[in-house]
Amino acid sequence: MFSKACEYGIKAAIFIAINSFENRRVSPKEISEEIDSPQAFTAKILQALVRHNVVKSVRGAHGGFEIDKDKIAKTKLSQIVYAIDGDSIYKGCGLGLHTCDENRPCPVHNKFKVVREELRAMLENTSLEQLALDIKSGVTFLKL
């Protein structure tokens, strides 16, 4: 469904959020160990999240990645996915047609619309805060 990069990005953002609640910055090393991802690759993905203003980075000693506490609740899964995979999940024809819309739909256009819409709503309605709190309360897990 998502690219590997996007999977890592989502998990990384959740881990950063959890730590930002405690005012702790985290490094790519900590992150990749915690979410079980390749370190250097994860660092690249973090850069993308920084560029898209999803997470904040602080360089130099005692630096690391963090998310403003009051931003965690406002940040939605959709923003993370967009920062990494772009809008390919929403946009684009299910069968790869160049032109595919209501006027000239591909064979699966209308069938797909429902699923796409469900996915979009899910991504736009799920906040980082919610995901981070589920981990903290032990309802969900980041690893294994």
Partner DNA sequence: TTTATTTCGGATAATATTATCCTATTTGTA
Partner DNA sequence: TACAAATAGGATAATATTATCCGAAATAAA
Interacting residues with DNA (CB under 7 A): 3-5, 8, 25-29, 37-41, 43-44, 46-47, 50-51, 57-65
Which of residues 59 and 103 has its CB atom nearest to its own copies in the complex?
103
Q: Residue 87 touches which of its own copies, DNA, none (CB < 5 to 8 A by kind)? A: none
- Rounded distance, CA 13 to CA 18, Å? 9
If binding is defined by CB under 8 A, does position 52 make contact with its own copies?
no
DSSP assignment letter at 3: -
Nearest distance in Å: CB 8, its own copies: 8
Which of residues 63 and 87 has its CB atom nearest to its own copies in the complex?
87
Helices (H), the chain: 4-21, 28-35, 39-51, 69-72, 77-85, 109-125, 128-136
Token digits for 2? 């998502």
Of the listed pieces 25-33, 49-57, 60-68, 131-139, which binds its own copies according to CB under 8 A? 131-139
For 40, the 3-state DSSP assignment is helix
Degrees to nearest 5, angle at CA 101 with 99 and 102: 145
DSSP assignment letter at 138: T
**Number of residues assigned to the chain:** 144
Binding-site member from 43, 85, 112, 127 for its own copies (CB under 8 A)? 112
User: Given the rule CB under 8 A, which residues bind its own copies?
Assistant: 1-2, 4, 7, 10-11, 14, 77, 89, 94-99, 104-109, 111-112, 114-115, 118-119, 122, 126, 131, 134-135, 139-144
